Amino acid sequence: MTVLHLADEGEAADLAAFLSRLLHYDRGAAVRLQAAGTALAVFGRPPSFEVLAVRAVRLAKPYEDGLDVTLDMTVSAGELLESVTEKAATAAVPAAVTGPPWAGVLPPRGGWRPEAGLPAPDALRAMVGAAVGEFRRRTEELAPERRTRAELDRIGREIWSRTVGDTGLPVRAVHAAQSLGFLRPAAGPRQAGPQQAGPQQVGLFSSGAWLRLRTPYGSIAVRRAGLGALGLSVR
């Protein structure tokens, strides 16, 4: 079994936290792993948000497993979580599983360009709080006979499909970032790594049909509506 050596205990703890949050929304969650050099990318798709979540993890040394210098496979999120040892900063790669359809369609690796108009992190968190409050208020105001799953889903789609200003980014992408622990204030020096340098790095990027909300703790990628199959990266 291949063992990944993570950069430190903090990276192991953050990986475990990300996997735990994915499993909270889907007990049978799978994740796609891609590792090359000293970087590991973990892709997951929490069904409640209909977005792709990406957690970058630093490795202590360049990945290698015999003659293989890259890793690309889909595994059980639960089995991967069970293998994480925070004190040793290691994680064992479980056996591959048959991946869900989303695992075969990932955002492009390059070609990302910055997009203007994204509010500051505090404003984004406030936006999510206001949307959650609106959902609760509107559902509580429903007459008992109208409080059906279909009506709750309709209200949810209406609220979470709104865009952040003129950016085209749906509010559900920001909600996902908040819920998965990506949209939080910097917590101190330990987070100050290559991809973890503070809240000022929160930004919006586009590549083809994809939008990507990038934070120091992870990214949320979402397909833009109305652009057909443009920008797909099937690997």
208-220: average pLDDT: 95
List the helix and strand counts (H, then E) for the chain. 5, 12
What's the chain's average pLDDT? 89
Q: What is the pLDDT of residues 45-68, one digit of tens each?
A: 999 898 999 999 999 999 988 878
Q: Is the pLDDT of residue 184 over 70?
A: yes
Q: Does domain 3-106 have CATH number 2.60.40?
A: no
Alpha-helical (H) ranges within the chain are 9-25, 77-83, 121-140, 149-160, 171-179
What 3-state class would DSSP assign to 201? helix
Beta-strand pair 70-76/233-234: unpaired
Nearest to 17 by CA among 182, 192, 195: 182
Q: How far, in Å, CA of 100 to CA of 78, rounded?
A: 15
30-44: average pLDDT: 96
Q: How many CB atoms lie within 10 A of CB 118?
A: 20
Residue 38 corresponds to which amino acid?
T
Residue ranges of the domains in the chain? 3-106, 113-234
Structure tokens, 23 = 């499993």
Q: What is the pLDDT of residues 71-87, one digit of tens each?
A: 999 999 999 999 999 99
Is the Cα torsion angle 47, 106, 110, 231 positive or negative in sign?
negative
